[in-house]
Structure 1
Amino acid sequence: MTNTGRRAGDEVVQLYVHQRTSRDKQPLRQLRAYARVSLKPGETKTVRLRLATSDLAHWDVTRSKWVVESGTYDVMAGASSADIRARTSLKVQGETIPPRDLGKATRAENFDDYRAISLVDESKSRGTAVAATADGAWLKFTDTQLGSGAARLTAELAGAAGTLEVRIGSPGGRIVGSARFDGTSSPYTYRTVTAPLAAGAKGRADVYLVLSKGLRMSAFSLR
């Protein structure tokens, strides 16, 4: 870095990374390191910023853990995210995120995509649940491995009376299960609801949970 001006000045060198491909949605740029540099007129300094493998990790919602995926990562340096002045790329040997296993108890908040859903307090003291803000609200759980067939939906529900549907492929896709919920007097009182799943709930697919307005869900499983 060189100060080509006639006055002393400061510059903040910022280091960003971008993961080109991922099982999870990734931001265009993530700030991973920075350093402020003071330069006299005509002065040149070399700036070194540390980038560790752990700096490439992101939160894997399918398994609730930090993960570094295998792939190509862009490394960019500049004065800001809009002023990138140098870049390179790295090939990283990490891991491949496996398909989702919804046979295990899954937190509803760990979805991949959604519509008409708000994150809400599960209880007055701790936890996060989801709440449907309109009829037809949905949660998407991408790339789920249902194996030879899941037989039963189990969900922890609270709030208004309504229905919870399990659909395959899209929010309007084939219904493979539907549970009726009678509602609870308090949004913090959860009850376990179960419903059978049709024979079509098998293989590898995107699973959608479609909720009625006012329904809250903290966790569920498809076993």
Structure 2
Amino acid sequence: QVVADGLLSGMKAAESDLGVSSQLILCFLRHLDEDAAFATLRKAEPWLDRIRGVGLDSSEVGHPPSKFKSVFAAAGSMGLKRVAHAGEEGPPEYVWEALDLLKIDRMDHGNRSMEDPALVARLAASQMTLTVCPLSNHKLCVVDDLKDHPVPEMLRQGLHVTINSDDPAYFGGYVNENYRQLATAVGLTREQVTQLARNSFEGSFLTSAEKSAFMDEVDAFAGTA
């Protein structure tokens, strides 16, 4: 109760004082079992009107998405969006499972999808949004050097990739810092940065009108409108 009230109070203040709106995603810890995930979902019921979706996080390796098929189905039946960490440290098979078993609406990370051409083709065709986190990838040794990050190739292959911060306090930067360091390391063009920003709004859980308004702002700022 105390944690939930604090979060909701902070969200309200951010919108009224700073004009920053937000939504919550309830995360299940994948190193625990599915019963624990169901317990988390039940405990969150009083606040479901403020929760937009459910997610799957914590250590990937050894904890495939298939462990949580039933709880994700339950969340979907409650009208919640579904997202999951897959394919950052875990193999491409975890991405397939997240798509086919969890029926996700958005993919968190997904870097290692690039190892599987058939998976890349599917992601490109469906335009499934991937929330890639460059500084997190570097700190967790998913990439040895930011200059080797796959975002440019992901864009070239038509993936709907976005730039995100993961846990800023742990990984050393909020969203802008992730953009800045990645752009410097791999030489992103202005057009690529603009596309990444547009992708982030297209892949959000905002309304269509809200998405359009924000993308118009991105285009105006980039001088491409």
TM-score range, shorter chain: under 0.3
TM-score (norm 2): 0.24
Structure showing the higher strand proportion among its residues? 1
**Higher RCO, Cα 8 Å, sep 6+:** 1
Q: Which has the larger radius of gyration?
A: 1
Q: Which is richer in helix? A: 2
